[in-house]
Structure 1
Amino acid sequence: MTKPRFDLIGLFAFLLLAFVMGVMLSESFEQPAAENAEKPSLSTLSELEHTAPAPRALDIQRWSTEQGLRVLFMPAPELPMLDVRLTFNAGSARDGDQPGLAMLTNGMLNEGTGTLDTTAIAAGFEDLGAQFSNGAYRDMAIASLRTLSAAEQREPALALFRQVVATPSSPADALARLKNQVLAGFEYDKQNPGKQANQAFFKALYGEHPYAHNSDGTPASISALTADHLRAFHQRAYSAGNAVLVMVGDISRSTAEQIATELATALPQGPALPALAQPSKPTPGNQHIEFPSQQTHLLIGELGVSRSDADYPAVYLGNQILGGGGFGTRLMEEVREKRGLTYGIYSGFSPMQARGPFMISVQTRANQSAGTLELIQQLLRDYVAEGPTQAELDAAKRELAGSYPLSNASNADILGQLAVIGFYDLPSDHLQRFMQQVQALSREEVRDALQRQLKVDDLLVVTLGPTVEQQPIPAPGSQTLPAPSSTPEH
């Protein structure tokens, strides 16, 4: 998952955002407004696109149902709507020896329920003015609902949502269609250098760990999967005890408890799946993949941190300065601005249940790829050894302080944040605590955390491109940028 990057736009905008952040970070949360308080009148969800979100206190409430479903609820009476998300510990890390199983199971949720086919499901949500969405990733699988909060729309929308998530039938015709789409995607991926490089990097980084394989599976594994495989996985991984329910919207606590109980009762019954093992340290080194192109893709990295690692705030802030904050980062300044070697270069930690990757990604001219790699490695070595300057640290803190309110400005934003808190079992005040931790960090603390987590001599390097005679990279000051051979991979 890519983290958004924001730029400060003028002093007035910064002061306004800082004020909003102050409201949201307040430890003395306001009591939510009464359910019958005056609200904007909405007849359809599409009207929300033109409605500015109002600042609100984060009144996060948590409990578990008898079936083991963990629940996070935040009242949001400002708008007459409700957002619901179920997050299952059912990502591709749970595929076992059947790569693509989690992806296909999630993709089939809204394709049929036994009594409803995919057309009836889509029409049911549309007639109610509701929106259903779903997706599967390495750690998790999700199913989300957005509906108006009035009982006449909310209750039938939730009934349909329960049926879709709890009792998918995986009809044969729909499964065949989805499998054909995935198989066609594999053919497209053969011409997608960024996708090939990314898959090779994960395989080299994780070896036999569940994070290593492609979440979409392989042609052989997808072809072999049947509806019975999907039903068995759903019964095991989509159980109430293996899920987190998040609700943000214009409902009371008692209504939220009723919704949670009904969902927990409808889902398969079972415990949480066991925790993932930590990956083994990979053997550092370089891997080259031959590919006909004018450019070379470079992926450079190593194992990073898990979501619960105490160093995460420090390495997150440090990475914003290195290459995670867009223009103005060290990598962008030295590789793009001063030497014109690329249109974009980015770095990032991706914390997951187990140690996620730290990765730097860039595309550059094939005949300057060796020099670009050496430059990036030296920049990383210097940064890890010295840490950020005080000016860099202060600027990064200001930008994060200004952008933080925007990341929680809407119900959908907060829903996503609470889903992360619930799934990774973080404290309810994680959002506020994280920002406080970041703002309190010193240069030395950031440097020390980077030194603990990044070992420049342990880097894995995957290059994908043609083997060509190499030329020296330009000296600082050159501004000539290479023409991209495709859409830049970020």
Structure 2
Amino acid sequence: MNRLAAIILSAVVLLAGLPASAEVDIKEITTPGGIDAWLVEDHSIPFVALELRFRGGTSLDAPGKRGAVNLMTGLLEEGAGDLDARAFSRATETLATSFSYDAGPDSLGVSVRFLTENREASMALLRDTLINPRFDEEAIERVRAQIISIIQSDAKDPQEIAGNSFSSLVYGDHPYGSDENGTVETVSALTRSDIVEAHAATMARDRLYVSAVGDITSEELSALLDKLLSDLPETGAPLPDDATLNLPGGIKVVDYDTPQSIALFGQPGLEREDPDFFAAFILNHILGGGGFESRLMTEVREKRGLTYGVYSYLADRDDAQVWMGSVASANDRVAEAVEVITAEWKRLRENGVTEEELEDAKTYLTGAYPLRFDGNGTIANIAVGMQMDGLGTEYIANRNDKLNAVTLEEINRVARERLNPNRLTFVVTGQPEGLTGTSN
């Protein structure tokens, strides 16, 4: 175990001893260079977790260049500045520093973990990955081959086929409607110039969010961020428009030779800013988000044995909101699973939930929330996500109060008004028996 890993483990052990009600004291800072950030100071161990997020992510791929942002992100730790890929890897190991990069439909994330004693050297290395990535041809070809292999593997994976088919149906021509990895054809055609353009399009200051947790003061963080980020482009590519959802209801079958069908389903959702969000959040927990205690799990698995697992969740993306879920079942039983899910959707809309269900859900959701804050890295990740969602620093303290304020009358009104069985749309991948619907 290297020193950074040992210190992170120590932090987790220390935080595990905190009471569940432990508060997270977030400070908002603005650097002289105009960078906004959130900071949670914790000087108990000489370690800092830093999170950077750039809004837009893979949705900023240029037309005809699908997969460029994903490929570019995979190259950020493949050499920077004067260091090629091997030298860069050795440098991070020597410093006991951890960098990770991830591109999703709505954001490009950079997660950093470093020791206080190595702060300056670690940040110099990070700055090169953000400002001066090498994008060497050898690295491009190696990472390109890895991505193409993933695309080819996903083309034979029923779960991936189901997900891509659902996205294509629901989101259409919006970037959400296609695989962020790209296709074999688009990825094969990407040039170094395309990668450089993807870097400039995504990693700009006008879409930047920052959080830090650990052994660093406001003054130190402020100076660090200006030095680290001041040379980023001021603006990036325009963010995409909202998606137009295609959720007509009914069933689409995607034929694929597999003994078990995968079904994804969804209806229109709601934004976090919606006044009904907290009631819908609890309602979803009761419907399909509460594990073995949820209604869908009870009806589909426990009573009928149609699946090992079924769940639902509120998918609140920047450009679209869908209330969706997933289930897998044998080809000869998936039709019954679809029928039961649809019936439960209708029953919950028509009859609502009980007082006992509401109180049990509140107890679980409020009790589990403090347990999420179990380490510097986790807290930094939560904090940067809160910023992107437009939540204030007081949200952590007030979140459980908002859940507890939901009444039985309110949640049942939301069930009547928001659950929409007529627009509940299923995409089933496999060879389901007894399902009628459009086919691909």
Matches within 5 A, 1:194-233: 194-233=159-198
In 1, Cα distance between the equivalents of 2:316 and 2:50?
Answer: 24
Equivalent residue, structure 2, for 1:456: 421
Deviation at 1:373, TM superposition (A): 0.8
Closer, same or farther: CA 461–341 of 1 in aligned 2, 3 Å? same
Q: Could you tell me which amino acid in structure 2 is paired with residue 172 of structure 1?
A: E
Match of 1:379 among 320, 326, 344: 344
8 Å Cα contact 2:49-2:213 kept in structure 1: yes
In 2, Cα distance between the equivalents of 1:278 and 1:454?
Answer: 22
Q: Could you tell me which amino acid in structure 1 is paired with residue 44 of structure 2?
A: E
Greater mean alpha carbon deviation, residues 327-336 or residues 88-97? 88-97
Match of 1:143 among 86, 110, 115: 110
Closer, same or farther: CA 66–425 of 1 in aligned 2, 3 Å? farther
In 2, Cα distance between the equivalents of 1:454 and 1:273?
Answer: 36
Match of 1:313 among 275, 278, 291: 278
Matches within 5 A, 1:67-146: 68-97=34-63, 98-146=65-113
Q: Could you tell me which amino acid in structure 2 is paired with residue 214 of structure 1?
A: D
Q: Could you tell me which amino acid in structure 1 is paired with residue 234 of structure 2?
A: G
8 Å Cα contact 1:102-1:136 kept in structure 2: yes
8 Å Cα contact 1:149-1:249 kept in structure 2: no
Describe the superposition over 1:244-300 as per-residue Cα deviations: whole angstroms up to 9, x where unpaired. Answer: 11111111111011111112213x221365454222231513211111122111111
Describe the superposition over 1:430-472 as per-residue Cα deviations: whole angstroms up to 9, x where unpaired. Answer: 22222211111112222333444332101221011115467xx
Closer, same or farther: CA 89–469 of 1 in aligned 2, 3 Å? closer
In 1, Cα distance between the equivalents of 2:324 and 2:311?
Answer: 8
In 2, Cα distance between the equivalents of 1:274 and 1:411?
Answer: 33
Equivalent residue, structure 2, for 1:421: 386
8 Å Cα contact 2:84-2:134 kept in structure 1: no
Equivalent residue, structure 2, for 1:36: none
Describe the superposition over 1:405-445 as per-residue Cα deviations: whole angstroms up to 9, x where unpaired. Answer: 11112111111111111222321112222221111111222
In 2, Cα distance between the equivalents of 1:66 and 1:277?
Answer: 32
Closer, same or farther: CA 218–310 of 1 in aligned 2, 3 Å? farther
Q: Could you tell me which amino acid in structure 1 is paired with residue 51 of structure 2?
A: R
In 2, Cα distance between the equivalents of 1:451 and 1:67?
Answer: 50
In 2, Cα distance between the equivalents of 1:239 and 1:416?
Answer: 20
Equivalent residue, structure 1, for 2:151: 186
Deviation at 1:170, TM superposition (A): 1.0
Q: Could you tell me which amino acid in structure 2 is paired with residue 58 of structure 1?
A: V
Equivalent residue, structure 2, for 1:335: 300
Equivalent residue, structure 1, for 2:14: 53
Please, what TM-score do these two structures have when normalized by structure 2? 0.92
Closer, same or farther: CA 407–344 of 1 in aligned 2, 3 Å? same
What is the aligned-residue identity percentage?
28
Match of 2:362 among 397, 412, 426: 397
Match of 1:434 among 379, 394, 399: 399
Structure 2 spans left out of the alignment, 5+ residues: 436-440
Describe the superposition over 1:26-76 as per-residue Cα deviations: whole angstroms up to 9, x where unpaired. Answer: xxxxxxxxxxxxxxxx95432432551334532212234465533111112
Task: Find out whether 1:360 has 2:330 as its counterpart.
Answer: no
Q: Could you tell me which amino acid in structure 1 is paired with residue 124 of structure 2?
A: A
Equivalent residue, structure 1, for 2:246: 282
In 1, Cα distance between the equivalents of 2:76 and 2:322?
Answer: 29
Q: Could you tell me which amino acid in structure 2 is paired with residue 75 of structure 1?
A: E
Closer, same or farther: CA 447–263 of 1 in aligned 2, 3 Å? farther
> Tell me, what secondary structure is at the counterpart of 1:350?
strand
> Tell me, what secondary structure is at the counterpart of 1:396?
helix
In 2, Cα distance between the equivalents of 1:206 and 1:233?
Answer: 22
Q: Could you tell me which amino acid in structure 1 is paired with residue 71 of structure 2?
A: L
> Tell me, what secondary structure is at the counterpart of 2:143?
helix
Deviation at 1:302, TM superposition (A): 2.2
Closer, same or farther: CA 467–456 of 1 in aligned 2, 3 Å? closer
Closer, same or farther: CA 304–222 of 1 in aligned 2, 3 Å? same
Compare the two structures and name the one with the higher strand fraction. Answer: 2
8 Å Cα contact 2:267-2:423 kept in structure 1: yes
8 Å Cα contact 1:315-1:449 kept in structure 2: yes
Equivalent residue, structure 1, for 2:438: none
Alignment coverage as a number of residue pairs: 426
Match of 2:235 among 244, 268, 271: 271
In 2, Cα distance between the equivalents of 1:275 and 1:48?
Answer: 36
Equivalent residue, structure 2, for 1:169: 134
CA RMSD of aligned residues (A): 1.9
Equivalent residue, structure 2, for 1:26: none
8 Å Cα contact 1:307-1:353 kept in structure 2: no
Greater mean alpha carbon deviation, residues 327-336 or residues 221-230? 221-230
Greater mean alpha carbon deviation, residues 424-433 or residues 137-146? 424-433
Closer, same or farther: CA 308–105 of 1 in aligned 2, 3 Å? farther
Structure 1 spans left out of the alignment, 5+ residues: 1-41, 471-490
Closer, same or farther: CA 331–412 of 1 in aligned 2, 3 Å? same
Please, what TM-score do these two structures have when normalized by structure 1? 0.83
Task: Find out whether 1:296 has 2:257 as its counterpart.
Answer: no
